[in-house]
Amino acid sequence: MKTKYLFLSLVFAAFLSSSIPAGSHSLMPGEEAPSLVLSANSKVKSLKELDGKYVVVNFWSSSDPESRIANSRLAKLADSLPSSKVKFVSICTDTDETLASEIIKTDDLPSSAISLSHSDIDAEVAEDYQVATGNRSFLIDPFGNLVKISPSEEEVIKIVA
């Protein structure tokens, strides 16, 4: 009988642990944002280089039109805010870098946006930010803390302005 309850307890614990998103961070507002270590090819090496500014990090995918639209809107919004206060980081989760590069040109992101492709980020970044594909954004405060997950344009303006 004890074996049966022990087995059921283990199965239940395994079920609970599989439902928790992957990643080494809890991704809760108020907590420190996961590190964003970038490859040698990228212009910025980490979020630490953007200390003192709010950072909007947006993950998007060419196969998800909604994420492309959100990426463009957030980039233009960040560009309209004082550059001394906010920086926009656009990360394409696609592995086809040629396609990602062409879409970035087509979507006409502001030159102030930091546009990155899949190869520009460490393998752990997508896992830490719990992003399998695109369409997830994060607002990070000047101290590196997560302020909001998937903030609306109005929320970004209210917090940053």
Q: 128-137: per-residue pLDDT in tens?
A: 888 877 789 9
CB 58 within 8 A of CB 78: no
Assign domain 26-160 to a CATH class.
alpha beta
CA-wise closest residue to 71 among 145, 138, 146, 140: 138
Per-residue pLDDT at 10: 42
Tokens of 133: 């594909």
CA-wise closest residue to 101 among 114, 86, 116, 80: 116
Q: Which residue has the tokens 């953007």?
A: 50
For the chain, give percent helix, strand, coil, nearest 5: 40, 20, 40
The alpha carbon of 5 is separated from its chain's Cα centroid by a whole number of angstroms, namely 41
The residues spanned by each domain of the chain are: 26-160
Tokens of 27: 């991704």
Q: 8-59: per-residue pLDDT in tens?
A: 444 444 444 333 444 444 688 989 888 876 655 555 556 667 668 899 999 9
Q: Round to whole Å and give the CA distance between 150 and 120.
A: 22
Q: 98-156: per-residue pLDDT in tens?
A: 887 888 888 888 888 888 777 777 778 888 888 877 789 999 999 889 999 999 999 99
